[in-house]
């Protein structure tokens, strides 16, 4: 396992790679080096270096025949579990243009800053959000309830809405006492368990 400056050697970002046949202790050692750099940096005490890890699908899945996981990594639950325990966040995934395989990007920063008070207007997605807000809402919204049963209740002048229900408007009209009947109400039982009443379906 190795650690280098991020591409461009910019902003103090470090990139850790070489996870095949490596141990959790090697990761711990490299992260300790990053934390030591934080303590001697010229930045403010609350600032921290971001550490990035990119793993292939083979490196994050236990069911692959060639993960390169050591016994220590397997006992710890695999690299995703180890990274999570060490403060990393899964921030994105993409399809590798070289191999066509999926890759996963993890970031670790001890003092992440809010993305809600930016000094500029940002109309794009945040982090790994790829869909527009409306599209995400449509995808996450539960399906609209549907009618699973319909009943018809006659409403009388003196006694109000009858408990007796009919399965069709025609049956309700024929079965009610016409001289005392004011109207017919419909009750729809929905797939979510709610009931919706429609008054005066005679009209």
User: pLDDT tens for residues 46-90?
Assistant: 556 789 999 998 899 876 565 688 888 988 889 999 999 998 999
Q: Which residues of the chain have pLDDT under 50?
A: 130-132, 135
The pLDDT value given to residue 24? 92
CA distance 10 to 86: 23
CA 164/CA 99 separation, integer angstroms:
68
Degrees to nearest 5, angle at CA 111 with 108 and 112:
70
Q: Would you state the pLDDT for residue 110?
A: 78
pLDDT for the residue numbered 118: 83
Would you state the pLDDT for residue 128?
A: 56
CB-based contacts of 96, cutoff 8 Å, min separation 6? 56, 102, 103
Predicted local distance difference test score (pLDDT) of residue 95: 92
Domains assigned to the chain = 2-112 (3.40.630), 147-198 (no CATH)
The confidence score (pLDDT) of residue 106 equals 94
Average pLDDT, the chain: 82
* Residue (of 186, 171, 177, 130) closest to 156 by Cα position: 177
pLDDT reported for residue 122: 81
Burial of 125-150, coded b for 16+ CB within 10 Å and e otherwise, reads: eeeeeeeeeeeeeeeeeeeeeeeeeb
Burial pattern 38-53, b for ≥16 Cβ within 10 A else e, equals beeeeeeeeebbbbbb
Give the pLDDT score at 133: 52
pLDDT at 135: 47
């Amino acid at each position: 396992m190795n650690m280098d400056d991020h591409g461009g050697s910019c902003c103090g970002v470090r990139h850790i790679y070489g996870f095949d046949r490596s141990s959790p202790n090697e990761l711990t050692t490299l992260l300790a080096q990053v934390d030591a750099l934080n303590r001697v940096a010229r930045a403010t005490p609350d600032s921290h270096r971001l550490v990035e890890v990119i793993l292939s699908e083979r490196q994050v899945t236990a069911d692959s025949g060639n993960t390169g996981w050591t016994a220590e990594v397997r006992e710890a639950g695999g690299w995703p579990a180890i990274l999570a325990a060490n403060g990393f966040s899964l921030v994105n995934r993409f399809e590798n243009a070289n191999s066509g395989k999926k890759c996963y990007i993890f970031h670790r920063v001890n003092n992440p800053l809010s993305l809600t008070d930016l000094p500029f207007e940002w109309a794009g997605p945040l982090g790994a959000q790829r869909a527009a807000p409306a599209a995400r809402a449509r995808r996450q919204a539960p399906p609209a309830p549907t009618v699973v049963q319909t009943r018809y209740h006659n409403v009388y002048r003196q006694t109000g809405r009858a408990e007796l229900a009919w399965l069709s408007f025609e049956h309700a009209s024929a079965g009610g006492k016409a001289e005392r009947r004011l109207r017919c109400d419909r009750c729809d039982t929905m797939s979510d368990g709610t009931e919706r009443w429609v008054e005066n379906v005679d009209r």
